[in-house]
């Protein structure tokens, strides 16, 4: 038994502290978005650049799926891919994000051809996919735990878009509505895997580091947008 091992309560507290310090809801671009201060150009840039992140989520989840050793975990994890890629009955999250772009005035082909994706956004997202490709599977799962912090943020965002950006057609918000149930489910499953599989202090610290890395991925995406579409002080 590793005497340095954190209890589950201590481990979860350390994970949550990473979000309290570094989650992208504290980034100036995100704060400006929630204060209704983004111009249509700035908000469309966020939508078009976040599309590159969204379309890569099922790619990284398929990489993780290929590494999960248990049928039970794979049966749960595969739902993440279906949520984004869709099925006959449900177009899925990637399609919903394209429709968010259309609802904000970005033509479908401009979302799909990635003409608006900034180099640093591409690099940050590709770094996330490669992290999941190269790291041990339970550490890759730990990097998805930013979803512990997402539901609060996404529920606020729906109200913000409805009230402060009424020029976005409401049907575009369907993606965020779906995440209100998908994200907590995914976070619960991801956390159960990380608590179960991190059996020594070294693994626990590596999982905490993975979550910090993922916060930096999301932060870097907004840094790139801030440099191309300045909204004021970038202080961190």
Site residues for ligand AHQ per CB under 6 A: 57, 144, 146-147, 150, 153-154, 179
Q: How far is the CB of 150 from ligand AHQ (least distance, A)?
A: 4
Cβ-based nearer residue to ligand AHQ, 159 or 200: 159
Max CA separation in the chain (angstroms)? 58
Cβ-based nearer residue to ligand AHQ, 22 or 179: 179
Q: How far is the CB of 98 from ligand AHQ (least distance, A)?
A: 13
Q: How far is the CB of 5 from ligand AHQ (least distance, A)?
A: 26
Q: Residue-wise over 44-71: b if at least 16 C-beta within 10 A, else e?
A: bbbbbbbbbbbbbbbbbbebbbebbeee
Cβ-based nearer residue to ligand AHQ, 122 or 201: 122
Cβ-based nearer residue to ligand AHQ, 47 or 118: 47
Q: How far is the CB of 147 from ligand AHQ (least distance, A)?
A: 5
Cβ-based nearer residue to ligand AHQ, 5 or 82: 82
Q: How far is the CB of 49 from ligand AHQ (least distance, A)?
A: 12
């Amino acid at each position: 038994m590793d005497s340095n091992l954190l209890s589950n309560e201590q481990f979860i507290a350390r994970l949550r502290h990473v979000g309290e310090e570094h989650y992208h809801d504290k980034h100036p671009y995100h704060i400006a978005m929630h204060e209704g201060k983004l111009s249509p150009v700035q908000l469309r840039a966020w939508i078009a650049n976040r599309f590159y992140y969204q379309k890569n989520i099922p790619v990284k989840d398929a990489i993780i799926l290929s590494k999960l050793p248990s049928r039970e975990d794979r049966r749960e994890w595969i739902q993440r891919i279906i949520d984004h890629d869709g099925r006959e009955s449900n177009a899925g999250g990637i399609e919903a994000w394209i429709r968010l772009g259309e609802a904000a005035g970005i033509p479908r082909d401009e979302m799909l051809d990635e003409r608006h994706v900034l180099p640093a956004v591409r690099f940050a997202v590709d770094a996330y996919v490669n992290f999941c490709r190269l790291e041990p599977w339970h550490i890759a799962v730990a990097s998805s735990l930013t979803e512990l912090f997402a539901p609060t943020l996404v529920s606020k965002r729906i109200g913000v878009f409805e009230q402060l950006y009424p020029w976005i057609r409401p049907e575009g918000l369907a993606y965020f509505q779906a995440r209100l149930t998908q994200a907590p489910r995914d976070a619960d499953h991801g956390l159960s895997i990380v608590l179960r599989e991190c059996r020594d202090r070294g693994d626990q610290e590596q999982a905490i580091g993975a979550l910090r890395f993922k916060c930096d991925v999301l932060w870097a995406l907004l840094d790139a947008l801030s440099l191309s579409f300045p909204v004021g002080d970038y202080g961190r």
